[in-house]
Amino acid sequence: MSPSSTPGLSRLKKNHKLSLAGVAAVAAAAVSFSLVPSDASAEAEVKEVAAAPAAAWSGYRTAELQAGIAGQKSAFELQAATEAKAKAEAAAKVKAAAAANAKAKAQAAAKAKAAAAAKAKAEAAAKERAAAKAAASRAAARKPVFANNLDGWIREALHIMKKHNIPGTYEGIHRNIMRESSGNPNAINNWDINARNGVPSIGLLQVIKPTFDAYHIPGTKKSQWDPVANIVAACNYAADRYGSMDNVNSAY
């Protein structure tokens, strides 16, 4: 009868089967020993047969242990690889977060710097405007206000003449004005040689057009009829020809 036909034998566990094999081997060895007690080769054979189950058991245990160790090693390696991957991913996330944070800080710093520069520029412009306004106010405060009459015209003319280094005094100007026009800024000479030549003498100091144009001072009105412009141009001409209006005592 084959082993497969033995009832229940196929359901025996592997260790049970090995134990039965060991018992059978021991029994066989005992029988052989009782038959040939003095034969040395028989004794060796008995030892070999007796050792067979142990060797089979040892080989089975070694393979099982090796398989278990290999399985554990594989599990450990897989776990280590998983943990390494997780650590790498975490490190990458930390690095990305740090980079994003650094970028955000850099952008914030750049915005703050731009805002500070814009503020400084605006403040500088405001200070410049304030300084210009203050300077204009000081200049306006320093500029004297002259009366709109003969006295004021002479004093304003002297103020302008001083800036342009044109000599002359109040007395010399007033004296010549009174002789030439009696202080009338609208006076005009329509009968002398200049009038006959088409260039009548006009204004406080009776200046003809060519002389006025040649000796006009920038900053005054470009008109012979303007009293201040008339005085300044006439004094400039007198300074060039006579050294000063103070030296003029007759028609000039």
pTM: 0.47
Reduced to 3 states (helix: H, G, I; strand: E, B; else coil), residue 184 is: coil
Q: Is 7 a member of any domain?
A: no
What per-residue confidence (pLDDT) applies to 118? 92
Reduced to 3 states (helix: H, G, I; strand: E, B; else coil), residue 188 is: strand
At a CB cut-off of 8 Å and minimum separation 6, what does 22 contact?
53, 54, 57
Which of 39, 60, 87 is where one domain is finished? 87
Domain that holds residue 198: 150-247
User: What domain count does the chain have?
Assistant: 2
Q: How many CB atoms lie within 10 A of CB 246?
A: 19
Residue ranges of the chain with pLDDT lower than 70?
1-61, 140-141
What per-residue confidence (pLDDT) applies to 43? 57
Which of 48, 69, 87 is where one domain is finished? 87
Predicted confidence (pLDDT) per residue in 102-137, tens digit? 999 999 999 999 999 999 999 999 988 988 888 877
DSSP state of 64: H
